[in-house]
Structure 1
Amino acid sequence: AAVDVSAIVTEVAEAMVPIATEGDRRLIVEGGGEVPLRGDRQLLSQAAFNLVENALNHTPPGTTVWIGAARAGTRAILSVRDDGPGIAPADRAAALRRFGRLDASRHQPGHGLGLPLIDAVARLHRGTLTLADGAPGLIATLDLPVS
């Protein structure tokens, strides 16, 4: 169905701001304007929610997390970035592997399925999930075709 990625970003941010505030973090929405595509709204919402939740759970208090959506030609870009410690380039492939838990997160709840599920949602929509250096922090980007 027709989905507005920007509306998903706004809804996820509204739901997650209280959680961010409670953890002494800031959550900021970037961008604006409609970013339409055809896709599964529930899966895309869950992917965006999981990206923000990961950023809030794996960064220290005082961190700022940004979520945004933009259109780049025939692509819809949903990104979550933070100014936390990030993930070392050598560890990013492990973070995307099912049950791939990095040493820094072993003491936290979870099974290492969050990023692999987000990656599966991206692939289902003929897109990609990438993890990049935020200098500082991490940028997680869903790059999806608009049609």
Structure 2
Amino acid sequence: MDDVTRGLYGFFAAFLLLFAFLGCWIPLSGFIEFFTLNDVVNYSWKSGFMIFVVPFMLYFVYLIVCSVVKNEFVKMNAKLGNTLCILPVLGIVFGMLSSTYIEQTLKNNDYKVCPSKSLMLPNKYVKDIKLC
């Protein structure tokens, strides 16, 4: 591994680590909003899915950091890699089921869904439509 690529790999690992922390914070804040029944709750199935992708990303950060430190490419553990590949699939199922449950619970508590500007944004549930 060249000295030039070591810095690039280090930057990529730092970027993945930041993305992993955001991948934890965004869904957890949505769950906290739901459990405390705030006036505004942001949640979608993609938020629930992101929590299950974080271990996979952290394992890649670990592999990249080990490669940079040892100055050679590190092989992926097959069993651990297969297990971490199953987690995002389970995350999709969990995300969709939790999204349905959260939507029904909030609608039963008289929350309204704000119109979304984009399909990629999470749903915004509000108690008063003026909060949209």
Q: TM-score, normalized by length of structure 1?
A: 0.29
* Larger strand percent: 1
Larger gyration radius, structure 1 or structure 2 = 2
